[in-house]
Every structure is written in structure tokens, then in C-alpha cells.
Amino acid sequence: MSVAKVTEIIASSKKSFEDAVNIGIKRACKNLEEVKGAWIKDQQVKVLSGKITEYRVTMLVTFVLTN
């Protein structure tokens, strides 16, 4: 039997939302074992002088707890 846990991660990128997701998942996999998926909870942009300067995502990452 497996037990899963969910943790919230916020990641950002100057390129795109997709890049922010990739950065967040890469970091999660570096620190957590058995990452199985993620749900994008929120997306935001930072704007300066009328231009997007940063893309941010808040995601819920699911991972399986190991013995």
C-alpha cells in the first residue's frame, strides 16, 4: 500500500509559465522522492512599465512516501 503527500511549490521564470512549471518540477524532484504529478493551482505575472517581467506558478506536487 502506498501513501501520498501533497506539497505546495511556487516557482518563477522570466521566459514563460511552462518554464516556471519545469523549474518547479525539477526542484521538487531534487528534494522529494517519487514525485508523481502536479496540479497548477494559480498563475501570475509580474509587470513593470507595461511589460511582463516574470511568470509565476503555484503548484501542488504529489509524491509517494517511501518506507
What confidence tens digit (pLDDT) does each residue in 11-67 have?
A: 999 999 999 999 999 999 999 989 999 999 999 999 999 999 999 999 999 999 876
Q: What is the pLDDT of residue 2?
A: 82
Helices (H) and strands (E) in the chain, counts: 1, 3
Helix (H) or strand (E) holding 1: none
In whole angstroms, give the CA distance from residue 8 to residue 10. Answer: 7
Examine the pLDDT at 1 and tell me if it is beyond 80. Answer: no
